[in-house]
Amino acid sequence: MSNTKYIFVTGGVTSSLGKGIIAASLAKLLQAQDFKVTIQKFDPYINVDPGTLNPYEHGECYVTEDGAETDLDLGHYERFLNINTSQANNVTTGRVYQSVIEKERRGEFLGKTVQVIPHITNEIKERMQLLGKTGEYDMVITEIGGTVGDIESLPYIESVRQLIWDLGKENALVIHLTLIPYLAAAGELKTKPTQHSVKTLMESGISADIIVCRTEHELSGELKEKLALFCNVKREAIIQSIDVDTIYDVPLKMLEEGLDKVVLQKLQLSPKKPLDLTSWNLFLEKFKNPKHKLKIGLVGKYVELQDSYKSIVESLIHAGAINETEIEIISVHSEHLEEGTVAAQLKGLHGLIVAPGFGERGIEGKISAIAYARENKLPFFGICLGMQMAVIEYARNQKGLQDANSTEMDPNCKHAVIDLMESQKSILNKGGTMRLGAWDCDLQPNTIVAQAYQSNKISERHRHRYEFNNAYLAQVFDEQFIIAGTNPETGLVEIIEYKNHPWFVGVQFHPEYKSTVSNPHPLFLAFVKASLTQKAKE
Ligand code: GLN
């Protein structure tokens, strides 16, 4: 019997309060006291995973080592904790129903009527304990997506209630995150929505053990007393979560408020060692006191929504901090880029990233931006679709293949330099069928990337269907435009570089998924360094 403890994080009043960041911050504090912690997220929507969701709907789709397409909160978990998550760390209602229905079809329910309670809740409970039962973790933090009171959250809340009953109060607790709104006209912070949301939770048989209050203003002692009284928790279990400039401050704020202490006390645990956040603080110190400033352009078609490129933005923060550099990201909408105006729009940038993406919209803008970066020796980093567009740009503008394109954009193009992977051709389903997760890559010696990684063998995470078409190897690559990395098993081109340039790299994979606070990604580090050199030339 493992003695893993379970911490559940629910949300009330409104969505977007940052349950993921609170969960990751608590995990960080516990990890800093030597506890082995993992975090998982249960999402109440019916998509089997977020891989089929448009980024406008749900922000970036994050990808794990084992190829799960997940909620972007898993990115926060990995970046804060420097651990890998997996398929088991993100479960949706769609996934739960899918597996219950499959069991029903196999006859596993022995003629019973299959119902939300107990069949769906049992499936949820089983999945909630999957990681805990490995015995690898002292604690499992489970974030329940959505807001308490939502119809679709009900089976999750009921499962939490049952699990607490099964596990015992000393082995499980509930943290409820709510909002304390400030009414400017009254000049007051209001506790009523929180009282209601705690009550809603109680109607489902769960009493919150700890209440974390998102607020724009400091909560007075008096207000905390009032909340404690009405919400049935101790005064020290009312935790203020005040707005901060950076998410990386949240663990420190939670430490100040004693969130970790209350949690340990409730779970009847003592710290395994005195809390040590030295390296975290070092990162923050550098991040907050930059000596340099860079403007990096991020070209994409979802730029209106910052969450669409969450991992890229965070990777730049990590790499910037180490280089003591503040990075201002200039979002450039690929649909607004035109050949004639590119120079004016990209003027003043010190580096350019062309983002991943799908579909035809905005690709000509991306290609024009890449041509500008290549010709004007502006550091360029193309990620996934960004790499594919760099190949098309070179093929069109330097190799005389005017009609070069990807068959994703133009199925009938004359020169399909980017084409559907052979393994993808017979696949009809869209969900979970891309080339996903970690794949090995061999690097060419004496390349920018080999220098950056300080290695000739790497592994990176993927999420794509198209690839460089090897029938065009001889027509596209030359002394200047080279293959810097290939997959050892399939021979797929994974990295391209342009030599006659200070830093021009395109990667078929997604390096941004592997950058963490304590382990900034080598390619982002090298790209930021190159952009600093570019700036120094001004
Ligand atoms: N749409 C491209 C493909 O499927 C690139 C995907 C991406 O950028 N993640 O290959």
pLDDT single digits (tens) 272-314: 999 999 999 999 999 999 999 999 999 998 888 879 999 999 9
Number of other CB atoms surrounding residue 161 within 10 Å: 18
Query: In this model, does residue 408 exceed pLDDT 60?
Result: yes
Q: Which residues of 92-129 are buried (b: 16+ CB within 10 A; e: fewer)?
A: bbbbbbeebeeeeeeeeeeeeeeeeeebbbebbbebbb
Pairing state between β 182-183 and 188-189: antiparallel
The number of the ligand 1 atom at minimal distance from the alpha carbon of 510 is 9
Compute φ and ψ for 417, nearest 5 degrees: -70, -25
Catalytic residue among 60, 393, 408, 512: 512
Strand partners, 325: 292
Active site residue 76: no
So what's the pLDDT on residue 433?
Answer: 86
Average pLDDT over residues 196-205: 95
Quick one: pLDDT at residue 533?
96
Whether the predicted pLDDT of 246 surpasses 80: yes
Of 199-203, 322-326, 423-427, give the lowest mean pLDDT range. 423-427
Q: List beta partners, residue 41.
A: 90, 143
pTM: 0.95
Q: Which of 384, 408, 460, 501 is catalytic?
A: 384
- How much is the pLDDT for 2? 62
pLDDT tens column, 329-373: 999 999 888 878 899 999 999 999 999 999 989 999 999 999 999
Alpha carbon of 463 to ligand 1 centroid (Å): 7
Whole-number Cα distances in Å, 433 to 181, 424, 450, 518: 43, 8, 30, 32
Q: What angle is formed at CA 40 by the lines to CA 38 and CA 45, rounded to 5 degrees?
A: 175
3-state helix, strand, coil in the chain (%, to 5): 40, 20, 35
Asked whether 356 lines ligand 1 (CB < 6 A), one says: yes
Cβ of 391 below 6 Å from ligand 1: no
Q: Is the CB of 464 under 6 A from ligand 1?
A: yes
Ligand 1 mean position, distance from CA 7 (Å): 37
So what's the pLDDT on residue 427?
Answer: 80
512 among known catalytic residues:
yes
Residue 384 CA: which ligand 1 atom is closest?
A: 8
436-462 per-position pLDDT tens digit: 999 999 999 999 999 999 999 999 999
Q: Is the CB of 466 under 6 A from ligand 1?
A: yes
**385 Cα: distance to centroid of ligand 1 (angstroms):** 5
**CB of 384 closer than 6 angstroms to any ligand 1 atom:** yes
CA of residue 27 to ligand 1 center, whole Å: 33
Nearest to 408 by CA among 435, 381, 388, 393: 388
Average pLDDT, the chain: 95
The string of DSSP letters for 466-504 reads EEE-GGGHHHH--SSEEEEEE-TTT--EEEEEESSSSSE
Pairing state between β 415-420 and 404-406: parallel
pLDDT in tens, 137-161: 999 999 999 999 999 999 999 999 9
pLDDT at 1 over 50: no
Q: What is the DSSP letter of 328?
A: E
Which percentage of the chain shows pLDDT scores above 70?
A: 100
pLDDT value for 125: 98
**Bond into 118 cis (ω within 30):** yes
**Is 302 close to ligand 1, i.e. is its CB under 6 Å away?**
no
